[in-house]
Structures are given as C-alpha cells and as structure tokens.
Amino acid sequence: MCGVYEADFYNYALDMFREAGHADCIIPLYANHTLKQAVYLDSTHAQLLDEDEKEVLKAAYNISHLFDLDYKVFDKGHKKISYYSIVLECSKDVRSQTANNIHKTIHRSFNVDASIVLFLLNGNIMLSIVNDSNDIYLSDWYEYFYGVDELIERINICNLPLTDEYHFVDELVYCCARDYYLHPLPHGRLLFSLLPDNYLTLYPDSDYGTLMDALDAVINEVKDKYGNDYVEPDHSIPVSTEEIEDQLELIGLELASIENEEDLDMAQEFSNPVDKYEYKNIPKDVLSDPIRLLKWIESNGE
C-alpha cells in the first residue's frame, strides 16, 4: 500500500481495491476533482443542488472516480457499480454523519445503480455503499496503515458472488457494514424480545419505569458503542419513545390482569375458610398419619 496523503488518496484507494480483487486498473477515470466538477461536469445526470445540499457537500474534497464494474464482470445483469474516493474536511465527532450525507446527496449525480465511496479523514478510512434502492450502509472506521488489511479481507472478491450486481452489492454490505445495519432493532411487541425470556421471573417487582429503563438500555447499547459515529439508518424505522410506551402499557395491562386473577383466587380462598369443626370426629392420632387417615376416610365414607 502506498502512503496516504490527501492529494494522493485516489492511488491509495486504487491500491486497496486492487488488493481486494475489485479492480485491475492503475489509473482512475478522473482524480481530485472539485465538487462543481464532479456534480456538473463529470456527471451525465447533472442535478441542481439546494442550499442545504451545497452546505453538506462543502466538506467533500478531492473527489475521484476510480473505476466501474459493469455487465462485463457479472454473469448476468446490465447495471453499473461505480467506485469513488473522497477526502473529508470536518471534525471527528461528525465524520460518519457527514460522510453519510455527502454520499447520499452526491450519489444522484453519479447516475449509476450503485456506488461505493472510500472516505478519508485524518488518517482513517471508511467505506460507504449505496445500493440500487438508495439505501446507504457505512463500515466501521479503519486506521489507514494498520487497519486497512482487515477491510481488504472483509471485501475480498473471493467473498462476493459475480452472478449479478444486486447480489454482489448485497453480499458486500453483509461483509463490511456495521452490525446495526445487519441486525436492526425489532418493532412493536417484538421490542420485548430484546429482554431476556425470564426477565419478569428475574425481576418480579419490575414496574413500568423499570421496564422502560431496561429497554432504553438495550436500545441505546449500539448508540453508546458508536458514540458520535452512530448514524441512524435511512432505511430503518427509528424506535420511538412513544412506541415503547405503548407496548409497555399493554404489558402493564397484562400484568395487572394476572395480578387481579391472583387477587381473586386469594379472595375466594379466604371467603371459604376451612371449618375448624369439619374434622372434629377424626381421632388426632389418625390425623397425624396420612396412611391411617386415608383408610379412615375410606371406611367412614368421607
């Protein structure tokens, strides 16, 4: 791998994709273009950007179109996958969200079915993938010298099918995307599958607040793991507090119903106390011996 300098990042990206088996070229289609060049001159599908989109794309520098994979590579299909490299200029705490927004915005200008971008910021790289449904997936960040080998291994062409573009991109996402893209949180009543099966047995005194806290802890575990690098998947439905509260209300009603049934059973038990004179005719020595008691009941027709 060559050294990484911002102006030479496209060479580093080409080296990486060659080592992973995705490319065989040594010269990119174009290198280190500005945003205006990439969006308005290089694209066959120039788009008008609003002010918000222009603001997002200000953090994108040295945009390079590395190579394309098309129908010649795959057994069937006619779609095209384009590979790019982009240098970011932003703070570390917003790097993932910024890369996500840039790729989502600029993908429309690429005029391809799927696009793959390798981002660089301060000596760390991240892969971003947009599929033909415009869903975006981010990899983890890797240190460009000591972490790149892991990324190369993950995206190695040997792990990917060449039947068609759809399955190729789908498998690529599976190989390198962050876990929370591959294992999204459940919704509705399935939210409670996040808790252990024996949760109520382990914590029988749990109330509404305790359940809420337990679910919040599980839901926020992934966000806490990634911190500022967490990006809400565009194609997922965020789990809202209202949804959790609605499901907890249903659980609360069920628990209350169970408690009411138990109370009713107890009330019936106390409303029909055992008559202390019911067994007054049974000798005390018989009462203390179960076997003799059974024989006594049989012989006396009790």
Average pLDDT over residues 237-257: 54
Same domain, 153 and 232: no
pTM score, two decimals? 0.73
Residue 252 lies inside a defined structural domain of this protein: yes
What is the distance of C-alpha 221 from the center of its chain?
Answer: 11
When divided into structural domains, the chain yields a total of 3
Q: Considering 123, 158, 177, which residue would you say is the last residue of a domain?
A: 177
Average pLDDT over residues 80-97: 96
Same domain, 156 and 200: no
266-276 pLDDT, tens digit per residue, is 545 544 444 44
Q: Which of the given ranges, 50-54, 148-152, 186-190, has the highest pLDDT on average?
A: 148-152
Same domain, 217 and 138: no
211-232 pLDDT, tens digit per residue, is 777 777 777 888 889 999 999 9
Same domain, 196 and 75: no
Question: What is the C-alpha separation between 30 and 27, in angstroms, rounded?
Answer: 8
Q: Which of the given ranges, 2-11, 24-33, 236-245, 263-272, has the highest pLDDT on average?
A: 24-33
pLDDT-based confidence at 108, cuts 50/70/90?
confident
Lowest mean pLDDT among 11-15, 117-121, 135-139, 180-184: 180-184
What does the mean pLDDT of the chain come to?
80
Range of the domain at 279: 274-302
pLDDT over 90 (residue 193):
no
Residue 254 lies inside a defined structural domain of this protein: yes
Residue 1 lies inside a defined structural domain of this protein: no
Same domain, 19 and 155: yes
Same domain, 161 and 67: yes
